[in-house]
Chains A and B, each alone.
Chain A
């Protein structure tokens, strides 16, 4: 079936405002969900599920969180990892300190805790923009990690702040295999991604973008800048917080505050730059790219060049490719891979008659 919009007339505004207005996209999306929910758990190896797919999903969620703030609401942040840390440690403490706390509820509360902290560190955005705001969020990055290390209460007095995630148990079912953890992660990420898509195509998202594109005009049509920016900080941090909780519970199992460092924040930023600033799909593409590139390079280097390489060559090459790509996307295609995908689709829509 050709990828076509022609012949699909929208008879109502309801049809026109669907989440995927083009039928092929709708079918494609359902097929994609079916593939990742049904086929992948059956065919993928434990290694792929545990070490690749689960982290891709978690980083996608964190990138999505940053994209809401930076790509949609236009507020730059370098503190994503710190908000993940808040989510992880808050979830841990809710599980630890409240008897019979259901896991999903703990994650929700963890996300909400991150949202609250996000609002706090979003306050400077009311006064400052761009580079200076980025520096202020940098303060959040260091301060939050410092607090989690400084006050051992957060890690239940374990040595050097390491926490070990409790077992996940939902309605009597224990999520302790790579398959089940992957599926749980996939479910949470899918639900939150759809919610994000819904937000950005409604008044909430339009207000964010209005503030991003022209804040004076936004204010003049009645948008309250303070409320809108803080809301974006809250939602963004919520997403990062949930990602952090999943990072601890379904991916690593044990985490320490220092794990949520500036490097991780930068990685999440690179994901949205490469994947696409202001794009939900881009958050996934960017996360997949950054997690998969080293894996891919490793395979290529091993099979073609073998052991003749100096140690560290692979990781250096990786850094060079990242650097090059980031410069490429910043200069040539600021909307990232998602935009390339969209251009491809537009070409396809006309193919094979480009005129």
Chain B
């Protein structure tokens, strides 16, 4: 399957990040092109999640440049990343536990809603219109991910697999340009994994969303990603198409050296 990719959406150049003495990322460079599914793989503790945290401003790398949509960005806070169209899900589910599925997803859309406190107090006219308008959009996401029946359920009561799906829904509600997924299929059974794969591919196809995906399941990674970055102990040891990566001796060594 050969697909045409657009220009570089985000370009990471010589990123280094450390926590005290621990070097989480050392001199990492790679780019992500428009409309591709870019996987990041590597053994536990390789620095994959840290990489996503650097991309959306949760962590600030000590060294390196990040060019997003042609603009180099300086110290970036997570909310700024969100306002520039970067959404994500978390390795450990980070839903709003006390809220329903619907409210979680609606919250994911807040950046597109403009009414302020006073109009919310009245909940009349403009505020009500806005709420309904965005509810429609959210319902589209709900239909897309096939979670209609759990709309009004508090997320805390849902099984793990569905929570992961709701988290994806919350990220999609923001209509992101770049979607970061941290192990979206971890802990799922085969059927749930298949569903999730299908959703990720559909998001990529139908909305043209660029996706950066961390995943441990090699089968899945090789199936759905266009290009793969391999990290090990915070260093990049491979980068290329799934086939290229599969036959890279360093990658094979890293994976044989650990229990995968």
Chain B min CB distance to A311 (Å)? 45
Q: Are A202 and B56 in contact (CB under 8 A)?
A: no
Chain A min CB distance to B21 (Å)? 24
Taking CB atoms, residues of chain A closer than 8 Å to B48 are none
Partner of A223, one of B79, B98, B120: B79
Taking CB atoms, residues of chain A closer than 8 Å to B88 are 220
Taking CB atoms, residues of chain A closer than 8 Å to B83 are 222
Q: Are A214 and B94 in contact (CB under 8 A)?
A: yes
Given A13-B139, A213-B96, A216-B58, also A221-B117 (CB < 8 A): no
Q: Are B98 and A217 in contact (CB under 8 A)?
A: no
B136 at the interface (CB under 8 A from A): yes
Chain A residues in contact with chain B, CB under 8 A? 12-14, 16-17, 19, 195, 198-199, 201-207, 209-210, 212-214, 216-224, 231, 235, 278
Cβ proximity bits B81-115 to A, threshold 8 Å, 1 near / 0 not: 11100011010001111110001001110110101
Taking CB atoms, residues of chain B closer than 8 Å to A221 are 82, 87, 107-108, 110-111, 170-171, 174
Given A213-B96, A219-B79, also A198-B120 (CB < 8 A): yes
The chain B residue sitting closest to A231, CB to CB, is B117
Known: A12-B132, A203-B106. 17 other contacts (CB 8 A): A13-B136, A17-B132, A202-B127, A202-B131, A203-B110, A203-B120, A206-B106, A206-B110, A209-B99, A209-B103, A210-B107, A216-B58, A219-B58, A219-B78, A220-B56, A220-B82, A221-B171
Q: Are B79 and A222 in contact (CB under 8 A)?
A: yes
Q: Are A203 and B113 in contact (CB under 8 A)?
A: yes
Some 16 contacts from A to B, beta carbons below 8 A apart, are A17-B132, A195-B122, A203-B106, A205-B120, A206-B106, A209-B96, A209-B99, A213-B96, A217-B95, A218-B96, A219-B79, A220-B81, A222-B83, A223-B79, A223-B107, A278-B98
Partner of A209, one of B98, B108, B113, B123: B98
The chain B residue sitting closest to A200, CB to CB, is B120
Chain A min CB distance to B202 (Å)? 21
Given A13-B132, A13-B136, also A217-B117 (CB < 8 A): no
Q: Are B121 and A199 in contact (CB under 8 A)?
A: yes
Q: Are B58 and A220 in contact (CB under 8 A)?
A: yes
B135 at the interface (CB under 8 A from A): yes
- The CA-CA distance from A262 to B56 in the complex, in Å, is 43
Taking CB atoms, residues of chain B closer than 8 Å to A231 are 117
Q: Are B132 and A14 in contact (CB under 8 A)?
A: yes
Q: Are B110 and A222 in contact (CB under 8 A)?
A: yes
Given A216-B58, A217-B90, A221-B87, also A199-B96 (CB < 8 A): no
- The CA-CA distance from A220 to B107 in the complex, in Å, is 12
- The CA-CA distance from A222 to B79 in the complex, in Å, is 4
Q: Are A198 and B123 in contact (CB under 8 A)?
A: yes
State the main secondary structure of chain B at its contact with A: helix
Cβ proximity bits B119-161 to A, threshold 8 Å, 1 near / 0 not: 0111100011001100110010000000000000000000000
- The CA-CA distance from A231 to B116 in the complex, in Å, is 11
Chain A min CB distance to B76 (Å)? 12
Taking CB atoms, residues of chain B closer than 8 Å to A198 are 120-123
**Chain B count of residues within 8 A CB distance of the other chain:** 40
Taking CB atoms, residues of chain A closer than 8 Å to B108 are 221
Given A198-B122, A203-B110, also A220-B99 (CB < 8 A): no
Taking CB atoms, residues of chain A closer than 8 Å to B95 are 213-214, 217
Residue from the set B58, B87, B107 with the largest chain A CB neighbour count within 10 Å: B107
- The CA-CA distance from A346 to B99 in the complex, in Å, is 18
Given A14-B132, A17-B132, A17-B135, also A213-B120 (CB < 8 A): no
Cβ proximity bits B50-78 to A, threshold 8 Å, 1 near / 0 not: 00000010100000000000000000011
Taking CB atoms, residues of chain B closer than 8 Å to A213 are 95-99
- The CA-CA distance from A201 to B127 in the complex, in Å, is 11
Residue from the set B99, B121, B135 with the largest chain A CB neighbour count within 10 Å: B121
Chain A min CB distance to B54 (Å)? 13
Q: Are B123 and A202 in contact (CB under 8 A)?
A: yes
The chain B residue sitting closest to A21, CB to CB, is B152
Q: Are A220 and B78 in contact (CB under 8 A)?
A: yes
- The CA-CA distance from A212 to B110 in the complex, in Å, is 16
Chain B min CB distance to A214 (Å)? 5
- The CA-CA distance from A48 to B125 in the complex, in Å, is 39
Chain B min CB distance to A343 (Å)? 14
Given A213-B99, A222-B174, A224-B79, also A206-B136 (CB < 8 A): no
- The CA-CA distance from A12 to B131 in the complex, in Å, is 12
Taking CB atoms, residues of chain B closer than 8 Å to A203 are 106-107, 110, 113, 115, 120, 131
Q: Are A206 and B82 in contact (CB under 8 A)?
A: no
- The CA-CA distance from A169 to B165 in the complex, in Å, is 58
Q: Are A210 and B94 in contact (CB under 8 A)?
A: no
- The CA-CA distance from A235 to B135 in the complex, in Å, is 26
